[in-house]
């Protein structure tokens, strides 16, 4: 039986990991962070302030697509993944995952930059925000949440749980 898959997507600093972990806890699903699947070369490139190319992302996205198929057959999962371009999202959906749901965390430039500048334990620096926003192709499907400074991660998760379709969850 296929289990629910939820991809929490957005640029760096949007809260994908924090929100994804909380959402997974509420749904009793395993959580995975797409960043953990990057090659050492990709991490080093981003840490040096260089944006990844489509070629850099190819193997990473293909591996994530394979994992999504495995997770769907097992226990389901919540995945935090930037999934910036439509072509990246199509790669992730390649296994025709019928229970895949998208949650897009969208925020203003100022909010995202402030979050990144306050984060010191991550290889993705605030200088990379411009390139991520330039690459971002906002999806026209799934659930889109506009981020504010007034809402806690717990409140975001409550909104997600209210708005996600009940089917498959």
CA-to-CA dists, residue 73 to 28, 69, 93, angstroms? 16, 6, 14
- What are the phi and psi torsion angles at 158 (to 5°)? -60, -40
Please check whether residue 145 is in contact with residue 106, taking contact to mean a CB–CB distance below 8 angstroms: yes
Inside any domain, residue 40: yes
Closest C-alpha to 114, from 151, 80, 148: 148
Cα torsion through 50, 111, 83, 71, rounded to 10? 120
Quote the pLDDT of residue 167: 40
Is 45 a member of any domain?
Answer: yes
Instruction: With respect to residue 168, please indicate whether it lies within any of the assigned structural domains.
Output: no
Q: What is the CATH number of the domain that holds 64?
A: 3.40.50.300
Flag whether 147 is in a domain.
Answer: yes
Contact call for residues 8 and 105 (beta carbons, < 8 A): yes
Number of structural domains found in the chain: 1
**% of residues, the chain, pLDDT over 70:** 88
For residues 82 and 12, the answer to whether their CB atoms sit within 8 Å is yes
Q: Over the stretch 19-35, which tens digit does the pLDDT of each residue have? A: 999 999 999 999 999 99
Q: How many CB atoms lie within 10 A of CB 60?
A: 19
Of 27, 31, 38, nearest to 8 (Cα)?
Answer: 31
Tokens for 43, please give them.
């991490």
Q: Does any domain span residue 169?
A: no
Note whether residue 111 is domain-resident. Answer: yes
- Look at residues 73, 93, 99 and name the one whose alpha carbon lies nearest to residue 168: 99
Residue 59 within a domain: yes
pLDDT in tens, 107-152: 999 999 888 886 656 555 556 788 889 999 999 999 999 999 889 9
The answer to whether position 112 is within a domain reads yes
Q: Tell me the C-alpha distance between 72 and 1, whole Å.
A: 8
Q: Which residues form the domain of 10? A: 5-163
């Amino acid at each position: 039986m296929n289990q629910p898959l939820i991809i929490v997507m957005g640029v760096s600093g949007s809260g994908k990991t924090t929100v994804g972990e909380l959402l997974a806890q509420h749904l009793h699903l395993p959580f995975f962070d797409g960043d953990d699947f990057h090659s050492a070369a990709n991490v080093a490139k981003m840490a040096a302030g260089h944006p990844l190319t489509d070629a850099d992302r190819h193997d990473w996205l293909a591996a994530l697509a394979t994992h999504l198929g495995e997770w769907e057959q097992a226990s389901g999962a919540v995945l935090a993944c930037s999934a910036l371009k439509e072509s990246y999202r199509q790669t992730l959906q390649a296994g025709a995952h019928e229970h895949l749901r998208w949650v897009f965390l969208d925020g203003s430039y100022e909010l995202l930059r402030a979050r990144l500048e306050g984060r010191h334990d991550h290889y993705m620096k605030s200088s990379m925000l411009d390139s991520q926003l330039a690459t971002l192709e906002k999806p026209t499907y799934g659930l889109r949440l506009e981020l504010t400074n007034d809402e806690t991660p717990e409140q975001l998760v409550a909104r997600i749980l209210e708005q996600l379709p009940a089917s498959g969850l």
